[in-house]
Chain A
Amino acid sequence: MMHPLIQLDDYRWEIPTSFQAGMRVPGIIFASKTLVEAIIRDKAYEQVANTACLPGIVKAAYAMPDIHFGYGFPIGGVVATDVRSGVVSPGGVGFDINCGVRLVATRLRREEIAPKVPALIDALYRAVPTGVGSEGALKLSPEEERSVLRRGARWVVERGMGTADDLAHTEAGGCLADADPDAVSAKAYERGRRQLGTVGSGNHFIELQYVDRIYDETVAAVLGLTEGLVTLMIHSGSRGLGHQVCTDYLATMDRVMARYGIELPDRQLACVPIASPEGRAYLGAMRAAANFAWANRQCLMHRSEETLLQALNASPRDAGFRLIYDVAHNIVKIEDHVVDGQTRRLAVHRKGATRAFPPHHPELPPDYQEIGQPVIIPGDMGRYSFLLTGTAHGMAEAFGSSCHGAGRMMSRSAALKATRGRAVADELRRQGVTVRGATMNTVREEVPEAYKDVAEVVDVVAHAGIAAIVARLKPMGVIKG
């Protein structure tokens, strides 16, 4: 098949600026020979080229090996723009602002809980709201919701649902400064009012897992992980509140973009200068939505822990819940990066890409200074997930970014078609994974074969040197939204 990709080495492919008029920088895709075939097939590289047209983009438009076709921006893309001359784009973050993952370690062993997993998953399913229109454990007054938008996970911890240690092990401490609750519309407030502490639908989940393989003993020791140890993984975001913030600002930017002389190949790429009133307002609202998401995952973790303790009849000491890390994979952050020997302040858009800062980065907590930032990469619900850490090479090469998951191979409707007449939950049970979904469709849409093998994805990231593999986690039970 004809395509513009030039192979740079075993794991990097370049889209030259000559591919498309308007490209300001080249595109760089991290992929193996096998994965690049899928990328060529679904033409996701065209979207990478489109993002390379954004005003003020620096160095290159990057794409991670789990890239797939998105709306405007590809899912799995990283775009950094100069804060003075560049633009900010809601589409570069996505509708689910601060969708992200947290990984919780326990002191429990796989053997002890294995027989109880079906009961534990039932208990989690009853206690934690999932699925479409799921109502939250927390209903917020307008004042409370404003505080959540300003204070993020801190607000939740201040109410006794967590510890200072949780905040230290959350990206940005679970709270972005300069969030602007006034830049969030009344509609977004309305959508968020009943959704704090809910998983949501689609690919969001809460999963009980165990560490089945350690790749780096030294780093695993610092994280306190050993083979057979039980972990809990939570994947969720800012729910309807974040979706509404994105919807609102896409409409605003679509309206005013021409005024700033910006023309783009796809309206979903709508953007404005970071320094413009609309740009500043979006960043303020986006941060507020990001804070809501961190508060949400903190609530979900607290509720899950409470539920598991009760179901296991265990004390907090026995269970030993400990947040390893919480990281966003749909966000734009203002960060300093060295580009051509100069430190520059950039707006790094990560849409379906995970921040992966190296050892000794000032944003990391003291206990992770030597090992780098934990990077949590969920896979599909049948196979495995991975824990990685950021590297100096990734910082220099891709603005400290890594992949975010397995990446879909089949659309939701294709997955439904492929699984017609199959009892996916029963198939998974035979493989030792208990699954509970809000609907039969959710489980079928999320069937493992709908996803790429996440091992292939993290393999590319590791070989390209932008993150290092620490451990593999196998699912025992999962609740899906």
Chain B
Amino acid sequence: MTADTLEQLFATAAAGLFSLLVDPSVVRPAWQRTVTAEAGDAVGLLIAFLNELLFVHESEDWLMASAAVTSLSPTRVQAVVTGETIDPARHQLRHHIKAVTYHRARVTQTARGWEAMVIVDV
């Protein structure tokens, strides 16, 4: 994943995660909520953020349509995410994701912006 800013990188990663779960074009931004995560460094924070979204997905049968990071510090992220409850008639789920792993995970600043890689366990 690449993005111009770290905030955009988090949003791109969240969208990427949900694109593994379902075709993004069929998810409506029916309602929004705030999601926060904390960790010791950028890699840990990205993983914690994505795992938080997976938790909401599984505990509330929720699918994400969009994410916008509203505040970001080295150890804390807050985002406003939109989405809707799973409707089996419209949402054909592609996978079950157990978790986002630390395996080979990285977040790096490049000349052009930010780059990250995470591997998920399906």
A133 touches B98 (CB 8 A): no
B98 touches A132 (CB 8 A): no
* Residue numbers in B under 8 Å from A412 (CB-CB): 95, 122
Task: Name A133's contact: one of B51, B55, B93, B104 (CB within 8 Å).
Answer: B93
Using known A-B contacts A132-B96, A268-B102, A439-B93, determine if residue A254 contacts B40 with beta carbons closer than 8 Å. Answer: yes
Q: Give the residues from 55 to 98 in chain B that come closer than 8 angstroms, CB to CB, to chain A.
A: 55, 58-59, 61, 86, 92-96, 98
Decide yes or no whether B44 CB sits under 8 A from chain A: yes
Decide yes or no whether B35 CB sits under 8 A from chain A: no
Q: Give the residues from 20 to 56 in chain B that come closer than 8 angstroms, CB to CB, to chain A.
A: 21, 39-40, 43-44, 47-48, 51, 55
CA distance A255 to B41 in the complex (A): 9
* Residue numbers in A under 8 Å from B86 (CB-CB): 133
* Residue numbers in A under 8 Å from B44 (CB-CB): 251, 254-255
| Residues of chain A whose beta carbon lies under 8 Å from any beta carbon of chain B | 70-72, 95-96, 131-133, 187, 190-191, 200-202, 240, 243-244, 246-247, 250-251, 254-255, 266-268, 270, 412, 439, 441, 481
A267 touches B40 (CB 8 A): no
Looking at the assembled complex, report how far the CB atom of A308 sits from the nearest CB atom of chain B, in whole angstroms: 26
Using known A-B contacts A191-B59, A244-B55, determine if residue A254 contacts B93 with beta carbons closer than 8 Å. Answer: no
Task: Name A72's contact: one of B40, B48, B102 (CB within 8 Å).
Answer: B102
Name which of A190, A191, A247, A481 has the most chain B CB atoms within 10 A of its CB.
Answer: A247
* Residue numbers in B under 8 Å from A247 (CB-CB): 51, 99-100
B48 touches A201 (CB 8 A): no
Shortest 4 CB-CB contacts between residues of A and residues of B: A267-B102, A71-B103, A201-B96, A268-B103
A191 touches B121 (CB 8 A): no
Looking at the assembled complex, report how far the CB atom of A199 sits from the nearest CB atom of chain B, in whole angstroms: 11
* Residue numbers in B under 8 Å from A71 (CB-CB): 101-103, 119, 121
A190 touches B59 (CB 8 A): yes
Counting residue pairs across A and B whose Cβ atoms lie within 8 Å, the total is 77
Decide yes or no whether B15 CB sits under 8 A from chain A: no
CA distance A190 to B93 in the complex (A): 21
Decide yes or no whether B105 CB sits under 8 A from chain A: yes
Name which of A132, A190, A266, A439 has the most chain B CB atoms within 10 A of its CB.
Answer: A132
CA distance A441 to B121 in the complex (A): 17
Task: Name A255's contact: one of B39, B93, B101 (CB within 8 Å).
Answer: B39
B55 touches A191 (CB 8 A): yes
CA distance A246 to B121 in the complex (A): 12
CA distance A247 to B47 in the complex (A): 10
* Residue numbers in B under 8 Å from A202 (CB-CB): 96, 122
CA distance A21 to B91 in the complex (A): 49
A250 touches B102 (CB 8 A): yes
B104 touches A201 (CB 8 A): no
A187 touches B40 (CB 8 A): no
CA distance A247 to B95 in the complex (A): 18
Q: Which residue of B lies closest to A481 (CB)?
A: B96
Q: Which residue of B lies closest to A255 (CB)?
A: B40
Q: Is the interface of B mostly helix, strand, loop or mixed?
A: loop
Looking at the assembled complex, report how far the CB atom of B18 sits from the nearest CB atom of chain A, in whole angstroms: 13
Task: Name B48's contact: one of A244, A251, A439 (CB within 8 Å).
Answer: A251
Looking at the assembled complex, report how far the CB atom of A18 sits from the nearest CB atom of chain B, in whole angstroms: 25
Looking at the assembled complex, report how far the CB atom of A394 sits from the nearest CB atom of chain B, in whole angstroms: 28
Looking at the assembled complex, report how far the CB atom of B8 sits from the nearest CB atom of chain A, in whole angstroms: 24
Looking at the assembled complex, report how far the CB atom of B68 sits from the nearest CB atom of chain A, in whole angstroms: 23
Looking at the assembled complex, report how far the CB atom of A300 sits from the nearest CB atom of chain B, in whole angstroms: 17
B39 touches A439 (CB 8 A): no
Q: Which residue of A lies closest to B86 (CB)?
A: A133
* Residue numbers in B under 8 Å from A200 (CB-CB): 96
Q: Which residue of A lies closest to B119 (CB)?
A: A71
* Residue numbers in B under 8 Å from A266 (CB-CB): 102-104
Q: Which residue of B lies closest to A237 (CB)?
A: B98
A187 touches B59 (CB 8 A): yes
* Residue numbers in A under 8 Å from B51 (CB-CB): 247, 251
CA distance A190 to B40 in the complex (A): 25
Task: Name B95's contact: one of A72, A187, A201 (CB within 8 Å).
Answer: A201
CA distance A270 to B86 in the complex (A): 34
Can you sample 20 A-B contacts with CB below 8 Å? Answer: A71-B121, A72-B102, A72-B103, A96-B98, A131-B96, A132-B95, A132-B96, A187-B55, A201-B96, A250-B102, A251-B39, A254-B44, A255-B44, A267-B102, A268-B102, A268-B103, A412-B95, A412-B122, A439-B94, A441-B95
Looking at the assembled complex, report how far the CB atom of B11 sits from the nearest CB atom of chain A, in whole angstroms: 21
Q: Which residue of B lies closest to A95 (CB)?
A: B98
Q: Which residue of A lies closest to B52 (CB)?
A: A187
B55 touches A72 (CB 8 A): no
A191 touches B58 (CB 8 A): yes
Q: Which residue of A lies closest to B51 (CB)?
A: A247
B103 touches A439 (CB 8 A): no
CA distance A251 to B47 in the complex (A): 9
* Residue numbers in A under 8 Å from B48 (CB-CB): 251
Looking at the assembled complex, report how far the CB atom of B34 sits from the nearest CB atom of chain A, in whole angstroms: 16
Using known A-B contacts A132-B95, A251-B44, determine if residue A270 contacts B58 with beta carbons closer than 8 Å. Answer: no
A254 touches B122 (CB 8 A): no
* Residue numbers in A under 8 Å from B101 (CB-CB): 71-72, 268
CA distance A131 to B58 in the complex (A): 12
